[in-house]
Amino acid sequence: MRNIVYIIQKEFIQIFRNRTMLPIIFILPLIQLLILVYAATLEMKHIDMIVMDKDLSSASRKLVSKFECSPFFFVNGSTFSIEEAENILKKDKADIILHIPADFEKKLYKENKSELQLLINAINATSAGLTNAYANYVIADFNKNVIAENINFFKPSFPKNININYSFWYNPELNYKIFMLPGILVILVTIIGMFLTALNIVREKEIGTIEQINVTPIVKYQFIIGKLVPFWIIAMFELAFGLILGKILFDIPMIGSLFLLFGFASVYLLVALGFGLLISTLANTQQQVMFIVFFFILTFILMSGIFTPVESMPVWAHYVNIINPVAYFMRVIRMVLLKGSGFADISKEFFSLLIYAFIILSLAVWRYRKTV
Amino acid sequence: MNKTPIIQVKNLVKKFGNFIANDNLTFDVYKGEIFGFLGANGAGKTTAIRILSGLSAPTSGKVKVAGYDVYRQTEQIKKNIGYMSQKFSLYEDLTIRENIRFYAGIYGLSRKVINERTDELLSKLNITNLGDKLISSLPLGWKQKLAFSIAIFHKPEIVFLDEPTGGVDPITRRQFWDMIYDAANESITIFVTTHYMDEAEYCDRVSIMVDGRIEALDSPEGLKNTYKAKNIDEVFLKLARTPIGEVGRG
C-alpha cells in the first residue's frame, strides 16, 4: 500500500513542477467555459432576411413590418429580382428570403387565401428548421390578425381556436446556456483526465523510466492505482472548479444534490481515466496516444447527446452508447443539476458505470506488462 | 571466494522472429563476484541482461536468478536484484532526494531507512549540498553514479549493470569502478556488460559474446594465457575476427 503513496507523491511533484501543466489544468477550462458556453448555442437570435415584395400593398407591408418587429429577424434589404435574391443567398449575406408575389393582397381579400414563398439557406439543417419555424410563427400571427380584422366582412363565424398553453419544465426560459454548461463541464473533465493519464505512462515508456519501474517488485495493480489517483483528484477538482465558475458566471441552477453529483463523477472518472490508462498501456509513443484518445473522445462526445438528443439518434447509436461513458455522465449531470434527480433516478447509470469501471481498470492492469 | 552459483543459465535461447539474439547460452555466476559480459554492440548482451532481470521472457532454456525461476518467479527475482539500464533511468524533473525516495519507496523501504541511507549516500558521494538539485541539472557522470547508487540502494543480492559507463569520461569511469568494488565488498554480486575492454580487466571473470554466443569464459588472466594475448583487447579481437554480418542485436 505504501508503494502507491510513493507513486502518487512522485506524480504530484512532477505535475506541479511542470510549468506548462498548471495553465492547462486551470486556465484552459476557464477560457473554454467562457467561449464554448456562449458560442455553442442553437438559439437563433439573428436571422438575416431579404424581402422580395412584388406586391407593395398595405398587407405585404404589414407582413414585412411584422418580421421587422420580431427580435429574431433582421430585414437587411429588399430586391425585386429573383436572380439577385439568389446571389445574396449564395454569398451567405442572408439566411432567408421572403417572397411576396404580386397578387398577394388581392388574393388574400378576394379569394380568402394567398401564397407566400420562403427561400431558406439550409446548409445547416438545424438552423434552417428553426428559421422556418420562427418564420411560420410570425406568418401565423399575421394570419390571425388578418382574420381578426376581417372577421365581420368575410366569415360570419370563425373556427374555434384550440388554445395551447405550454410551460417549459426544468429550464423555463429555454436558456441554452443552462443546457450547454453541464455538458461542457463533462467534456472538460473528460479531456483533461483522459489525456493526462493516457500520456503519462507512455511518456515513461518514451524516456525509459518505465523499465526501471518494471524491474522493481511493484505489483501491477499498485502501479495502475498510483497512476490513476493523482489525475482522478485533479479531474474532481476540475469539476468543482468548473461548477463554481458556472455558478458565478452563468448562475447555473444546482437543484439536485452536489454530493450525489460528485459521487457519480467519482465513478465516471474511474472509467474515463481507466480508458486513458488502457490506451497508455497499449501505445508506445505519445503520438499514438494522441491519435487514439482523440478518436475516442471525439466519437464519445458527439454521440453523448451534448448537442443533439440521444433519443433522436438511430437505434444502433443507442447500442453504441452503452459503451460510451460520456453519454452516461452527460445525461446524469443534467438530470441532477437541472431537474434535481435523486439517486433512485440515476441508479441504473451509476451501477452500469461501476461495472464499467471495474472492467476497464482490470483490462488496464492486465494489459500493463512488466515482462515483455 | 565461495563458489555458490547465484545465477544459473542453461541452454538459454532468445529469438525475435527468425533472429536469434541469444544462442544457447550456458554459464553460472557465483555469489559475490564481479562478472563481466563483453561483446560488440549488438552481440546480445542487453537481451541476456533483460532476461536475467525478469524484463523479458526467454524462448527456451533454464534460467535461475537468486534461486528463482525466470519463467514463473520474476516478481521474486525483482525483489532481490538491482538494475541499471543503458537508457538513463532517473527522473530528470525530480531532485536527487526525490528520485531516491521514489525508487526506495517502491522497493518497500521505510521512510526512516530511506532518510538515513540518503544522507549516508549523499555524504559518501560528497554531494550533501546537491540533494535538492534536479537531476536534469547534473553532468552525465554524476547521473550515472547516482543511477548506480539508486540501483543498489535497497541492498540487492545481485545488481545488473548494462553498459553503465557509456559516454562517460575516463576519470569518472575509474571512480565508477571504485563504486562497483565497494558494492562487491558489501557482497553484492555484480553482473556488468561493457564494450570497453580495459574494464574487463577489473572483473573477476569475463565472458565474451560474439553474435549471440558465448565464445569464451574465464578470468582475465586465464583468457590472456589461453589466447596468448597481452590484454583482453587482443583476446577479443582474436575471437571476434570472424566478421559480424548482422546488425541490430541488442
Q: Is residue B249 part of a domain?
A: no
Which residues does chain B have within 8 Å of residue A370's beta carbon, measured at their own beta carbons?
54-55, 74, 78
Q: Does residue B110 share a domain with residue B221? A: no
A314 vs B: CB within 8 A: no
Q: Does residue A12 share a domain with residue A128? A: no
Segment B89-114, tens digit of pLDDT: 899 999 999 999 999 999 989 999 99
Q: Does residue B102 share a domain with residue B66? A: no
Q: Is residue A195 part of a domain?
A: yes
Instruction: Tell me how close the Cα of B202 comes to any Cα of chain A, in angstroms.
Output: 26
Q: Does residue B156 share a domain with residue B218? A: yes
Specify which residues A78 forms β-bridges with: A51
Q: Is residue B247 part of a domain?
A: no
Q: Does residue B231 share a domain with residue B147? A: yes
Count how many pairs of residues, chain A against chain B, have C-beta atoms within 8 Å.
78
**Is residue A353 very low, low, confident or very high in pLDDT (cuts 50, 70, 90)?**
very high
Who contacts A15 (Cβ-Cβ below 8 Å, separation ≥6)?
A: A21, A25, A230, A234
> What is the total count of domains within chain B?
2
Residue A100 has pLDDT above 80, yes or no: yes
Residue A153 has pLDDT above 80, yes or no: no
Residue B145's CATH number = 3.40.50.300
Q: Is residue A166 part of a domain?
A: no
Please state, in angstroms and rounded to a whole number, the distance separating the CA atoms of residues B228 and B233: 12
Kindly list the residues of chain B whose beta carbon comes within 8 Å of any beta carbon in chain A: 53-57, 74-76, 78-79, 81, 83, 85, 87-94, 98, 101-103, 105-108
Q: Does residue A353 share a domain with residue A218? A: yes
* C-alpha dihedral (B129, B132, B134, B135), degrees to nearest 10: 60
Q: Is A66 exposed, middle or buried (0-12, 13-18, 19+ CB in 10 A)?
A: middle
Query: Inter-chain contact A371–B85, Cβ cutoff 8 Å?
Result: no
Do B249 and B47 contact (CB within 8 A), yes or no?
Answer: yes
Which residues does chain B have within 8 Å of residue A216's beta carbon, measured at their own beta carbons?
78, 103, 106-107
Block residue for cell numbers 381579400: A109
Q: Does residue B208 share a domain with residue B113? A: no
Which residues does chain B have within 8 Å of residue A208's beta carbon, measured at their own beta carbons?
85, 87-89
Domain final position from B133, B162, B192? B133
Q: Is residue B54 part of a domain?
A: yes
Q: Does residue A295 share a domain with residue A229? A: yes
Do A333 and A186 contact (CB within 8 A), yes or no?
Answer: yes
> What is the total count of domains within chain A?
2
Which residues does chain A have within 8 Å of residue B78's beta carbon, measured at their own beta carbons?
215-217, 370
B73 phi and psi, to 5 degrees? -120, 40
Who contacts B103 (Cβ-Cβ below 8 Å, separation ≥6)?
A: A212, A216, B150, B153
Write down the pLDDT at residue A294.
Answer: 94
Q: Does residue A235 share a domain with residue A257? A: yes
Q: Residue A139's domain spans which residues?
A: 47-154
Q: Does residue A253 share a domain with residue A278? A: yes
Please state, in angstroms and rounded to a whole number, the distance separating the CA atoms of residues B101 and B89: 14
Domain final position from A154, A189, A224? A154
Q: Does residue A93 share a domain with residue A211? A: no
- Neighbour tally for A276: CB within 10 Å: 31
Write down the pLDDT at residue A34.
Answer: 84
Please state, in angstroms and rounded to a whole number, the distance separating the CA atoms of residues A205 and A221: 18
Report the 3 state secondary structure along B160-172.
EEECCCCCCCHHH
Q: Does residue A25 share a domain with residue A118? A: no
Q: Which of B56, B94, B96, B106 to mutate to test the interface with A (most CBs of A within 10 A)?
A: B106
Query: How many H helices and E strands in chain B?
Result: 9, 10
Q: Is residue B248 part of a domain?
A: no
Instruction: Tell me how close the Cα of A215 comes to any Cα of chain B, in angstroms.
Output: 6
**Residue % of chain B over a pLDDT of 70:** 95
Section A160-179 average pLDDT:
68
Q: Does residue A182 share a domain with residue A276? A: yes
Q: Is residue A165 part of a domain?
A: no
Q: Does residue B74 share a domain with residue B21? A: yes
Q: Is residue B245 part of a domain?
A: no
- Neighbour tally for A214: CB within 10 Å: 23
Residues listed for chain B: 250
Where is average pLDDT lowest: A76-85, A328-337, A357-366, B19-28? Answer: A76-85
Q: Does residue B220 share a domain with residue B146? A: yes
Domain final position from A97, A124, A154? A154
Residue B246 has pLDDT above 50, yes or no: no
B33-42 residues labelled b (16+ CB within 10 A) or e (exposed): bbbbbbbbeb
Write down the pLDDT at residue B250.
Answer: 42
Block residue for cell numbers 452503452: A322
Q: Is residue A346 part of a domain?
A: yes
Query: Inter-chain contact A211–B93, Cβ cutoff 8 Å?
Result: no
User: At what angle are helices A176-207 and A325-334 packed, to 10 degrees?
Assistant: 150
Residue A37 has pLDDT above 60, yes or no: yes
Write down the pLDDT at residue A216.
Answer: 92
Q: Which of A62, A55, A53, A56 is nearest to A148 (CA)?
A: A62
B5 phi and psi, to 5 degrees? -70, 130
Q: Does residue A282 share a domain with residue A138? A: no
List, in sequence order, every beta strand (DSSP E) within chain B: 5-16, 19-30, 34-39, 60-65, 68-69, 81-84, 158-162, 189-194, 205-210, 213-218
Q: Is residue A164 part of a domain?
A: no
Residue A298 has pLDDT above 60, yes or no: yes
Do A372 and A210 contact (CB within 8 A), yes or no?
Answer: no
Q: Does residue B107 share a domain with residue B24? A: no
Q: Is residue A161 part of a domain?
A: no
Q: Does residue B121 share a domain with residue B196? A: no
Write down the pLDDT at residue B249.
Answer: 43
Who contacts A247 (Cβ-Cβ below 8 Å, separation ≥6)?
A: A254
Segment B57-81, tens digit of pLDDT: 999 999 999 999 999 999 999 999 9
B197-230 residues labelled b (16+ CB within 10 A) or e (exposed): bebbbbbbbbbbbbbbebbbbbebeebbeebebe
Q: Which helix (H) or strand (E) holds A118?
A: strand A117-120
Domain final position from A110, A125, A154? A154
| Minimum CA–CA partner of A226 in chain B | B106
A138 vs B: CB within 8 A: no
B163 phi and psi, to 5 degrees? 45, 60
Residue A55's CATH number = 3.40.1710.10
Q: Does residue A195 share a domain with residue A136? A: no
Residue A127 has pLDDT above 90, yes or no: no
Q: Does residue B138 share a domain with residue B37? A: yes
Do A176 and A43 contact (CB within 8 A), yes or no?
Answer: yes
| Minimum CA–CA partner of B89 in chain A | A209
Q: Is residue B244 part of a domain?
A: no
Query: Inter-chain contact B54–A208, Cβ cutoff 8 Å?
Result: no
Q: Does residue A68 share a domain with residue A8? A: no
Specify which residues B63 forms β-bridges with: B9
- Neighbour tally for A351: CB within 10 Å: 11
Query: Inter-chain contact B92–A370, Cβ cutoff 8 Å?
Result: no
Query: Inter-chain contact B108–A211, Cβ cutoff 8 Å?
Result: no
Q: Which helix (H) or strand (E) holds B141?
A: helix B140-151
Q: Is residue B140 part of a domain?
A: yes
Highest mean pLDDT of the ranges A62-71, A83-92, A324-333? A324-333
Query: Inter-chain contact B54–A372, Cβ cutoff 8 Å?
Result: no
Segment A182-211, tens digit of pLDDT: 998 999 999 989 999 999 999 999 988 999
Q: Is B186 exposed, middle or buried (0-12, 13-18, 19+ CB in 10 A)?
A: exposed
Locate all alpha helices (DSSP H) within chain A, ordered by sequence: 2-17, 21-39, 58-69, 82-90, 104-110, 125-154, 176-207, 209-214, 220-250, 258-282, 286-303, 315-320, 325-334, 343-367
Q: Does residue B111 share a domain with residue B50? A: no
Q: Does residue B217 share a domain with residue B181? A: yes
Q: Does residue A231 share a domain with residue A349? A: yes
* C-alpha dihedral (B197, B203, B206, B212), degrees to nearest 10: -60
Q: Is residue A288 part of a domain?
A: yes
Q: Is residue A333 part of a domain?
A: yes
Please state, in angstroms and rounded to a whole number, the distance separating the CA atoms of residues B193 and B208: 10
User: At what angle are helices A21-39 and A176-207 packed, to 10 degrees?
Assistant: 150
Of A6, A212, A216, the CB nearest to B85: A212
Write down the pLDDT at residue A82.
Answer: 85
Residue A163 has pLDDT above 80, yes or no: no
Q: Residue B87's domain spans which residues?
A: 5-93+134-239
